[in-house]
Structure 1
Amino acid sequence: MNRPCSAPDVVQCSMCQTSVAPMYCEVCITHLCKECEEAHLSDSSKVHKVVSFKQHWRSLNYPNCRKHPTKQCDLLCEQCGIHICIKCISSGKHLGHKLVDIYQVFESKKQLLRKDLQEIENSLYPTHKQIASNIPVQKTDLKKNSQKLTAIDKLKKLLNSKDVCLVSEYKSTNAEFRKLPPKLKVSLPNFRPQEIHKDQLIELFGYLSASSLTTEEQDYSMTNKGVESPSQDWSLMDVPQVITAIDTGYEYIYGVACLNDTEVWTRGNSNIMKLYNLRGELVKSIQTKSGNMPEDIKVTENGDLVYTDFGYRTVNVVKNSQIQTVITLQKWGPLSVCSTSSGDLLIVMDSDDHKQTKVVRYSDSTETQTIQFSDEEQPLYSSDGFKYISENRNLDICVSDNSARAVVVVNQVGKLRFSYTGLCYTTEEPFDPRGITTDSESRILIADYYNHCIHILDQDCQFLRYIKNCNTELPWGLSVDTRGNLSVSVCCKGEVKKIQYYL
């Protein structure tokens, strides 16, 4: 079988990090020099399998190139998201793209697999099992435990796999498993002792009716919720990487919306919305129906472009290059829009007198929900400034409120969950939120305009980290594609940067 390339001549030892490592432990996914090999084998807690690195490398199964089936791939083109061979490189189609050694991707995913497996076996599964033994078992709890057992088997198979392509495509799902089964609260019937009858005893001790049980969500994290102590998220990269930068031709660019993994819609200081591929080529351009500059753009679940026109008070959908007005407002102007997992549209809108702001849900152009006030009848949103909206995977509705310098998160029925106001003691300027998006791990990403960075939170307002190293001066719009890569509109440069920020 043809190898994609020869094995690297020099590989650094994972333990001492100074010497050349001719050996490799396939159990621990560790490169070893001769001096460290003996110390590594002395750890009797595992049954190690140490082989020469070249023997390990030759045993791997590399993917065949799609373009050149007789060749095997040794590189991953991050810009195109495909494995490529030497012939692909010589063709010039990937000139200037970021190319990564496929073995490096394979090894980093193996490390992530091992961490995920250890967390599930040592923490997540035992915790769920203990809780389930102390509360009435529900079908959903049994299903979750079953999923964890299945996940353990799958992770073990992947960890032992030598299929480079299969392992490289792994994405962690541990964030979903960290959600504990709901804690059940029991409300016993109220009665006076002299009124107890046989039927009441049967009802009380024979079973608990569904109406006497309520649930309370739990969080796996044992750390405090205060933002002073960022939590660990092993899937987030310590140093995010820019995959590509696209010059959009706008003097100022405001919004981005990923159509798919290789194309992104953009809006800037113009009435033209432009679709670019990752090579920076203009694929399509659409002028707004009214000639006004669009206030916001998003892509629907069906892949259609939707945009708001504040001046004409309309929400419009572009289907096959044809613009359809789906919502026309009276006395309100639409600011931002997002398409939900159910196919609804969520619209942030301002009143004509600029004294009120609300979020309205539309199903097939019919208003079905309004979110405006807290339980204390206080406005949830300020009545001025920029506002952008995104629905999280847990169905929370996240709004960045620039004027209030806050991100306001409510649940799907409109009840306030939390408000995030940034970490002012770690930034030079006050929190200045603009674009907002969420990813497949339910993380919330917020563009902080004047601090030139992206905040990453978990779904419960726990600060995770910043993206600060990618030269995203004055970031505005955000959008995450299905591969988990983040598109950022860098306002004053008129460019979109595609950033990989987690494994």
Structure 2
Amino acid sequence: MALSESQIPPNAQHYLECGTEDCEKNCTFYCNDCHQPMCEQCRDEHQKNKKTRSHEVVPYKQRKRPLPVEKCKIHPTKHIDLLCEECQIPICSKCTGTKEHRGHKVTDLEMVYDETCLLFHEEIAKIRSYFEPTSEDLKKEIAGDVTDMKKIMENIRTSIKTEAEAVKKLVDTVTSDKIEQVNKIERSLLETLSGQNQGIDDYINYLNDLITTLYGCLSPLNIQQLTVALKSKSLIIRPIPETSKPVPPVFTAGKYSKEDVAKLLGRITVPNTKPEENRKIKPMETVTKVREFTIPGFYDVFHISLGKLGRFWASDYKGNLVQTDLHGNQLQKIETSGKWQCYHTTTGEGDLIYTDKDNKVIKRIALGYTSTEFIKTGDWVPSSIHSSDINGDILVGMIKNGKCKVTRYNKTGTEKQNIQWDNKGQELYELAHYITENINGDICVSDYAKHAVVVVDKSGQHRFSYTGQRSTFTPYGICTDVLGHILVCDVVSETVHLLDQDGQFLYLLLTSQEVNSPNTVCVDDKNNLWVGKWKTNTVTVYKYLQ
């Protein structure tokens, strides 16, 4: 039994099944009156039925979102399905006859709800693609400033310690000099005192000698010596040598304060200036419209293949494939079984290659020639195709019995490689809807059923899968540019995502405010972005790379 839309999780990895009872085919259409997904066959039956032939059946992407079911609190048997424009409150049909709303203008609430949902999806897309990542960038910048600030403050602390060490060394040097000065003064003073001390010692020796002499004169045995001594002047005692008390040096303590020491260690100041300019916030990325083409007879444009001589091929959801010049003139038209997929591509020689799903063959149209069979794909139905700009190989997405793979052929049509499983034995693809190749040889598949862009390297090893920005992601057209960027359309949010070659989301290159319903993208040799749309028959060309 098919899941209802409300039961499908946002990141569902499966086909949306037809809502008709006992039908398990894939949903591709939607009845806006019944709010029921349906396959192509059930759509045809729905439109043939007399009761439902007037219903609005549209491609699933153009569906109206069903209004949530809610009972009126005043009239419990009625559902709320109108909006009173004057009161701006939801009401039921019975409320229009009440006193509060009688004569007021009312609007279909389902239409308002659908428009509001689209608006909110756009706002969410802007938040996810610009405001949120820009805020995250500012957080990273602030974190970088924190790291830088910590380094600056640590450098200041180191400088203070270095300055203190220098002052300490200078203090030690001055201290040594002053101590040496004290030592010299001390030696000089001690020498003076030592000289005085020696003079006193000599004088004491003189006195002792004098006493001995005098005692000798007092002896009764030496009268003659006494007579001589009495007549001698040596009997006069020399005066005591003069000495003086040396004046010691006086130490006067230096006069300094904490502030004086602080000055020696430098100054820490906060500049009395305003902070730097506000952080620069990158502007929302914009692209410039270069020109626009109209494809006569088309309802929408599902895929574009750029050719030579100013010509390109475009296909619609019915399988019409036309060649058009840059003036919008139709040059060729082919009815194919391809429909809403990337089922045609141009080679380096300018030939067109396209898939014939019904007959399971790949056909080629050389310049100015008719269509010829090129490759038979056996039991596999070719769903998407791309001609490599690197070596001319042909990459083909194929499906069979619910399985999907990518097959590589060389330019002559010989099979070279099959890619179906990852290194864990899990299936890589559910529907290789659109396919392209990057400048490094990566094979990039837009898988509508898996809600992912699946990328493998040229050997077939899974590199990464991109599943959008935390909202339902429904990829369609995909291409790459000269810088290795991956550009992919999201048909639900009506945006074009820009990724780097490693699958990192960069930003929304185009939003629903800038382009209406982008469905397919490709980049020409002048780095212009071509966008085909599924609500109109126009192709718009933008300049986005300088």
Give TM-score scaled by structure 1 length: 0.49
Greater fraction helix: 2
Query: Between Structure 1 and Structure 2, which shows a larger proportion of strand residues?
Result: 1
